[in-house]
Structure 1
Amino acid sequence: MRLTAPILAALLSLMPVLPSDASIPKSDHAALIGERLSNANLWRDHVMVVAHRAGWKENGSVVRAENSRAAIDNAAAIGVEMVELDVRRSRDGALVVMHDATLERTTTCRGEVGDLLLEQLMACRLVVEGSRIVTDEAVPTLAEMLAHAKGRVLVNIDNKLEPEDLPEMVEIARRLGNADGILIKTPIWNDERLTRVRAVMQQIGPDIAFMPILADDAVRDAAFVDKVSKAFSPDAAELIHWRRETTEPLTVAGGPLFTPQARAAAVRGNFHMWINTYPITDRPDGMVAGGRGDGLAFAEGKPDDVYGFWVNRGATIIQTDEPKAVIDWLERHGLRRPYGAGS
């Protein structure tokens, strides 16, 4: 039967309208990443890379809006395993993606995130920090960003709220069919906090990837790492090694969370050891990595003293502001395995 123009137009009008942007995954690459996340002991020869704030910098300069769809697109294109997204609430309780409690640095608006309604936040445009280039992206909701990343990269949800807010974030992912595409996390520093977080995780259920954040100002004994591992069977542990002042020497051993005993706990628990090498604004470079951060690696030209140091001490996930450069370094050193058939 030959379709006339009016009939063809009518048929096309009945078809669902699909978005034309990069939010449509070419394949479920994220599922392959998830397999490596959940089986650390099978993939200790492959170091995963996480784009901090979804990947906003290159060569030390801010080149795109942080926590943006454009950042997710770039991260997926260069091959990172995960993007980190920061989550806060609007005045009317909506979960939105924003690092700061205030809007001035990263948007065209001013004031506290929590003082504005979602409708007002969606009128704020994301800007590129420094250049103040205004993008066409509004302050996004968590749901929008999870949908945009779905199938391409995993999302590391950095909860700026309380542990009890995690179930709502998980529910959003479940509604989107992306429960296996997120990694949730929260700090645990003593037995009381462990009990509190365990109650939250029992409410959520065992199907969601979880990561405790352990910092060595409070956790200095590998026995506590073991205790946390047994309580949660985590997929990874984000390990903080503090260097709060530039007068402090660079770490020479990695601190109490990167000892042979801590590494043994990771192997027993089958979880990844995660290090953060990104800088914190107006703080010493590598503040959460014993001074061995992105600045030392690239500004000072010593990547072996950063990424090599942490990989040698068991790190199999690196969160960085320089994901492309870190991937390139890892590949040159045989620390990446390709994804695909037989991988």
Structure 2
Amino acid sequence: MRFAAPIFAALVLAAVAVNGIAAETTRSSQILGRLQDANQWRNHIMVVAHRAGWKENGHIRMAENSLASIRYAIGLGAEIVEMDIRKTADGQLIVLHDSWLDRTTTCKGEVDRRRFDALQDCRLVVEGTGEITEEPIPTLKQALATARGRILVNIDNKLGPDALAQIAAEARALGMTDGILIKENVWNTKRIDDTRAMLASVGADVPFMPILADDAVHDARFMAQATRAFSAFAAELVTWHQTGAPLTDRGGPLFSAKARAAAIAGNWHLWVNTYPIVNRPGAMLAGGRGDELAVFGGQPEEVYGFWADRGATIIQTDEPKLVIEWLEANGYRVPYDLTN
């Protein structure tokens, strides 16, 4: 199934100009518009750069979660960057995946036992090559400022729900609460209620997205309930894959015809994760159909095409360059108006 770029995209932009707000339009506001109206943009697949875009063709290209990687993802045309959030001993929010400094920086030790000023001499390292960059560990504020107006930010909060209010406050101080997405796992109605109570301290101005995994969620009616409860623009969907199991042939219950119908009825995006998890079997989040099959197996159609045909309109990947190029070549991308 293939799509051509729609004529109505130009009409939407013309309507914006008529209303006199074209001069205020940024790339991130255009991305947000597509995120907020899934049904209008089901002919366009958005791309999320996992760890801010650190890999290319299976190789680590730059330091993960770096300001350089955010700029790289923006240059590629990705819509969203994913960032991992940690906290120093004195309460500073920083962008770092691990709880330890050893793998991705020149320093060693546990992050939460070091004050922020003690980390100023640490430099980010390109994992694999060992190349030491000139970039220090970025703060969340620095990362958000780099993304502002140019790309949205998917927050992977490694700290627990208590940190969400502080994350939201930092985004609010920069005037970009609608420029971030926060998320939590949801699997039953009690979890929905608990999460809604937790979000009271965050504020309704910050978009929230439920994460739904098919080891606990099988019913499209619950998918509809969860997204409706949070007025969510998207649901991050996990199709678990066991080592040695065959590739998913249908996408599982979260990508069934009923699930797709629920997404259309609720006007929200189906989000799939094709990236691998460190030290885990590849593609375990995507039914075996992940980035490795596309890159090393040379079968992007069996990954990105497969998920597109099952209704996915957001793909989170370690290979944003490959995904964007493949989607564009196969008619799954609608250009943005970048004249403003």
TM-score, length-scaled by structure 1:
0.89
Match of 1:332 among 299, 318, 329: 329
Taking the TM superposition and a 5 Å limit, the aligned residue runs for 1:223-242 are 223-242=221-240
Q: Which amino acid aligns with 2:38?
A: A
Deviation (angstroms), 1:281: 2.0
Match of 2:273 among 250, 270, 276: 276
Q: Which amino acid aligns with 1:77?
A: G
Q: Runs of 4+ in structure 1 displaced over 2 angstroms?
A: 200-207
Taking the TM superposition and a 5 Å limit, the aligned residue runs for 1:150-165 are 150-165=148-163
Please tell me whether Structure 1 or Structure 2 has the larger radius of gyration of its CA atoms.
Answer: 1
Name stretches of at least 5 consecutive residues in structure 2 with no aligned partner.
Answer: 1-23
Q: Deviations over 1:113-157 (max 9, x none)?
A: 111111122321100001111111111111110011111111111
**2: CA distance, partners of 1:253 / 1:169:** 37
2:135 aligns to what SS in structure 1? strand
**2: CA distance, partners of 1:341 / 1:109:** 40
Q: Which amino acid aligns with 1:167?
A: A
Kindly indicate whether the alpha-carbon contact (under 8 Å) linking 2:27 and 2:338 is maintained by their aligned counterparts in 1.
no
1:136 aligns to what SS in structure 2? coil
Q: Report the equivalent of 1:31.
A: 29
Deviation (angstroms), 1:186: 1.2
Are residues 1:311 and 2:308 paired? Answer: yes
**1: CA distance, partners of 2:32 / 2:294:** 28
**2: CA distance, partners of 1:216 / 1:115:** 36
2:200 aligns to what SS in structure 1? helix
**2: CA distance, partners of 1:249 / 1:297:** 16
Deviation (angstroms), 1:202: 3.3
**1: CA distance, partners of 2:57 / 2:98:** 23
1:285 aligns to what SS in structure 2? coil
Query: Considering only aligned residues, what root-mean-square deviation do their CA atoms show, in Å?
Result: 1.5
**1: CA distance, partners of 2:267 / 2:200:** 20
Q: Report the equivalent of 2:60.
A: 62
Q: Report the equivalent of 2:298.
A: 301
Q: Report the equivalent of 2:174.
A: 176
Deviation (angstroms), 1:260: 1.0
**1: CA distance, partners of 2:162 / 2:314:** 26
2:28 aligns to what SS in structure 1? helix
Kindly indicate whether the alpha-carbon contact (under 8 Å) linking 1:167 and 1:200 is maintained by their aligned counterparts in 2.
no
**2: CA distance, partners of 1:138 / 1:50:** 24
Which piece of structure 1 moves more, 73-82 or 116-125? Answer: 116-125
Deviation (angstroms), 1:341: 7.6
Q: Calculate percent identity across the aligned residue pairs.
A: 56
Q: Report the equivalent of 1:117.
A: 115
**1: CA distance, partners of 2:217 / 2:160:** 20
2:184 aligns to what SS in structure 1? strand
Deviation (angstroms), 1:81: 0.3
Match of 1:201 among 199, 202, 205: 199
The structure showing larger relative contact order (alpha-carbon pairs under 8 Å, at least 6 residues apart) is: 2
Q: Report the equivalent of 2:213.
A: 215
Q: Report the equivalent of 1:92.
A: 90
Q: Which amino acid aligns with 1:336?
A: R
**How many residues are aligned here?**
316
Name stretches of at least 5 consecutive residues in structure 1 with no aligned partner.
Answer: 1-25
Deviation (angstroms), 1:244: 3.0
**2: CA distance, partners of 1:202 / 1:235:** 18
Q: Deviations over 1:271-312 (max 9, x none)?
A: 111000011122222110000000001100111110111011
**1: CA distance, partners of 2:286 / 2:216:** 15
2:272 aligns to what SS in structure 1? strand
2:82 aligns to what SS in structure 1? strand
**1: CA distance, partners of 2:202 / 2:159:** 16
Kindly indicate whether the alpha-carbon contact (under 8 Å) linking 2:209 and 2:227 is maintained by their aligned counterparts in 1.
no
**1: CA distance, partners of 2:163 / 2:195:** 11
Q: Deviations over 1:32-54 (max 9, x none)?
A: 11100111111000000010000
**2: CA distance, partners of 1:122 / 1:185:** 30
Q: Report the equivalent of 1:139.
A: 137
Deviation (angstroms), 1:67: 0.2
1:86 aligns to what SS in structure 2? strand
Q: Which amino acid aligns with 2:142?
A: E
**2: CA distance, partners of 1:57 / 1:341:** 26
Kindly indicate whether the alpha-carbon contact (under 8 Å) linking 2:272 and 2:315 is maintained by their aligned counterparts in 1.
yes
Kindly indicate whether the alpha-carbon contact (under 8 Å) linking 1:237 and 1:274 is maintained by their aligned counterparts in 2.
yes
Q: Deviations over 1:98-119 (max 9, x none)?
A: 1111111100011111111111
2:102 aligns to what SS in structure 1? coil
**1: CA distance, partners of 2:330 / 2:283:** 22
Q: Report the equivalent of 1:8.
A: none
Q: Report the equivalent of 2:3.
A: none
Q: Which amino acid aligns with 2:172?
A: R
TM-score, length-scaled by structure 2:
0.90
Which piece of structure 1 moves more, 154-163 or 310-319? Answer: 154-163
